[in-house]
Structure 1
Amino acid sequence: MEPVLPLTHPLTLFHVVLSLVAIATGLVVAAGLLAGSRVPRWTHAFLWTTVATTVTGFVFPFRGFTPAFGTGIVSVLVLVPTLYALYGRKLTGAWRKIFVAGAMISLYLNVFVLVAQTFLKVPAVHALAPTQAEPPFAIAQGVVLLVFVVLTIVAVRRARQ
């Protein structure tokens, strides 16, 4: 299947840059959360670039329900309570842990898509799993999932009430 828009299209480039910035800032946020602390400016940058990545993902021409579309829906469902926990509830009480879990899951979803896109777009990696149904793809995504499950549990446990 041909890509919806080529990589050189301005929307595609903007979407890719947003997602890479979201991942980079998200890693800084995750490190802070794992240390039991917050990094407010990085957190705002991470959340809003993740929101922008999700929104721009829905701007691409619609070709029916795809894994990308499903991931976007899940991202929205995670981001709404995460943003509400931070901006609406100011991380009070249980909202702090909801925020931490949501931020970590949002980062996971960004990395999940990065891995999928790497298998689609990087020739050497694509050769390992041309249809994304081969074991290397499943192993890579499984490792990413396992790492994020463990990191999310640790970060939530370290979140102060």
Structure 2
Amino acid sequence: MVPGLPIETLTSLHVAISLVGISSGLLLFIRMIAGRDVSAVSIVFLVTTAATTATGFLYPVSSAGVRHLVGVASLATLSVAVVSLYVFRLAGAWRAVYVIAALVALYFNCSAAVVQACRRLLPVAGDVEGDPQTYILFAQGALLVLFIVLGALVLRMPRERPQRTSAISPL
């Protein structure tokens, strides 16, 4: 926890950064599928996803738990993505390494959002039969399948499609 920072402010900041990270991550993969340049959106995604993880560590806790393990795994995965993108420039197999690492980091972020949404929305729904954890696991499983399909689509696409040239070129 940051001394002097109310928990409500930390939560608002954390959620805002998370939403930018998730949005930029989804945009990143949409642009990859379309064969478009992803350099600018990659920076936004990597920085905001790392910031989301970092702000998650600021919450007060009595002991380390699953969210801390996921946070450490997320930072490790982001490190692999950064190295593959900025050190190896996505050459050869490093493109696939980047895609998988970025996808896993985005999955961690989206999965945390699903857990938080379920924890807040299921009690509001009222007559939810069974254990709420079952709904969370189902939602995370569906999200995982969606991300596997997304990763497969991206990995099947060429790195970037060549730009179209106009039939009339300016002089």
Give the structure-1-normalised TM-score: 0.84
Structure 1 position 74 matched with structure 2 position 79 = no
Aligned to 1:27: 26
In the comparison of the two structures, how many residue pairs are matched? 154
CA RMSD of aligned residues (A): 2.4
Report the alpha carbon displacement of residue 121 of structure 1 after superposing the two structures with TM: 2.0
User: Where do 5+ consecutive residues of structure 1 fail to align?
Assistant: 1-6
User: Where do 5+ consecutive residues of structure 2 fail to align?
Assistant: 1-5, 161-171
Report the alpha carbon displacement of residue 65 of structure 1 after superposing the two structures with TM: 2.4
Equivalents in 1 of 2:38, 2:25: separation in Å? Answer: 10
Tell me: CA distance 1:89–1:115, structure 2 relative to 1, closer, same or farther (3 Å): same
Aligned to 2:168: none
CA shift digits 1:57-104 (9 cap, x unpaired): 112223322221121011012111101111122222211111111111
Tell me: CA distance 1:129–1:24, structure 2 relative to 1, closer, same or farther (3 Å): farther
Residues 15, 57 of structure 1: 8 Å contact kept? yes
Structure 1 position 113 matched with structure 2 position 115 = no
Equivalents in 2 of 1:60, 1:70: separation in Å? Answer: 14
Aligned to 1:124: 124
Report the alpha carbon displacement of residue 132 of structure 1 after superposing the two structures with TM: 4.1
Report the alpha carbon displacement of residue 39 of structure 1 after superposing the two structures with TM: 2.1
Equivalents in 1 of 2:45, 2:87: separation in Å? Answer: 17
Percent identity for Structure 1 against Structure 2: 33
Equivalents in 2 of 1:63, 1:120: separation in Å? Answer: 20
Tell me: CA distance 1:159–1:101, structure 2 relative to 1, closer, same or farther (3 Å): farther
Aligned to 2:89: 90
Tell me: CA distance 1:159–1:107, structure 2 relative to 1, closer, same or farther (3 Å): farther
Equivalents in 1 of 2:87, 2:79: separation in Å? Answer: 11
Counterpart amino acid of residue 22 in structure 1 = G
Residues 120, 130 of structure 1: 8 Å contact kept? no
Q: Which has the larger radius of gyration?
A: 2
The equivalences for 1:18-57 within 5 A come to: 18-57=17-56
Give the structure-2-normalised TM-score: 0.79
Equivalents in 1 of 2:53, 2:42: separation in Å? Answer: 16
Equivalents in 2 of 1:40, 1:125: separation in Å? Answer: 41
